[in-house]
Amino acid sequence: MTFGEQPAYLRVASDLRKKIVNGSLPPHTRLPSQARIREEYGVSDTVALEARKVLMAEGLVEGRSGSGTYVRERPVPRRIARSGYRPAHGTVNPFRQEQAAEGARGTWESSSEREGAPAQIAERLGIAPGDPVMRTRYLFRDGGEPMMLSTSWEPLALTGRTPVMLPEEGPLGGCGVVERMAAIDLVVDNVVEEVGARPGLAEELLALGGVPGHVVIVVERTYYASGRAVETADVVVPADRYRVAYHLPVR
């Protein structure tokens, strides 16, 4: 193979991908069979199979038991806006914090549980592994459609035995981190977000309506008050359905 030349299975996958993108193979159309690919492109069964595997891994096609492989409908990505802006007065619920948009049709489910901080979370919070934290898991929906998962951890050394120990209960239940921490005299003055992507975990894709192999966007967010981490969270969204847009103030 000369420099820059693609393996045969990638060339076949690339041609089939073009047909999917340009509409020659529209959504819900059955992908050519392995035998048809072999004949049309003059390749071996192995090459034809590997090309189909590439398209499936990219989420362009899906297998249907007893029926074959079909082109998936390609969703139009929607935006999830991120913003450092916080209103001067009033409270902001967690979903509005994540969407940072007015008119959200969002609902969410949540559950909180006390646990020992895993090593990676402890490092982000600046505490020792195993120190007690309150873990809260959220499933956010927009118009009834699962759109985002979020898992947050708060050090119980800060919030334990206070009215804000449980993020979704008590007098400030459902308010944002900034407002809740202010109630216990912790002024949040900085937030750091790191954005990455990875294959979704099986349980994440099950909750979000994805299929195995789909990629998710992960936002690792940490709130600080005078240099001390008061909350950290992993926000997970399907990469094929959403884009993360940042609105940053110019100083």
Mind giving me the DSSP string for 60-113? SEEEETTTEEEEPP-PPPEEEEEE----SSS---HHHHHH--TT--EEEEEEEE
Clarify whether residues 208 and 116 are in a common domain: yes
In a domain, 1, yes or no: no
Same domain, 175 and 215: yes
Question: For position 14, which CATH number holds?
Answer: 1.10.10.10
Q: Which residues in the chain land under pLDDT 70?
A: 1-4, 83-105, 251
What is the number of structural domains in the chain? 2
Q: How far from the centroid of its chain's Cα atoms is residue 232's Cα?
A: 15
Record the tokens describing residue 41, joined without a space. 């492109």
Bridge partners, residue 190, by sequence: 224
Both 131 and 104 in one domain: the answer is yes
pLDDT value, residue 80: 76
Task: Name the amino acid, one letter, at 111.
Answer: S
The pLDDT score that the predictor gives to residue 83 is 63
Residue 150, in any domain of the structure: yes
Q: Would you say residue 164 lies in a domain?
A: yes
> Are 238 and 117 part of one and the same domain?
yes
Q: How many other C-beta atoms are found inside a 10 Å radius of the C-beta of residue 141?
A: 15
Indicate the residue type of 222: T
Same domain, 120 and 196: yes
Mark which of 52, 71, 90 sits at the end of a domain: 71
Please, which residues bridge with residue 141 across strands? 107, 146
Within a domain: residue 251? no
Residue 158: its pLDDT value, please?
97
94 and 194 co-located in one domain:
yes
215 and 99 in one domain?
Answer: yes
Q: What is the pTM assigned to this prediction?
A: 0.73
Beta bridge partners of residue 89, listed in sequence order = none
Give the structural domain span for 49. 8-71
Per-residue pLDDT, 93? 47
* Assigned domain for 3 exists: no
pLDDT in the model for residue 104: 53
pLDDT at 77: 73
CB atoms within 10 A of CB 65: 5
Render pLDDT for 179-207 as a digit per residue (tens, 0 to 9). Answer: 999 999 999 999 999 999 998 998 999 99
| End residue of a domain, out of 56, 71, 86 | 71
- Asked if residue 238 belongs to a domain, the reply is yes
Rounded distance, CA 166 to CA 93, Å? 14
Let me know whether 44 and 16 are in one domain: yes
- Whether residue 2 is contained in a domain is answered as no
Same domain, 158 and 224: yes
Query: Both 63 and 82 in a single domain?
Result: no
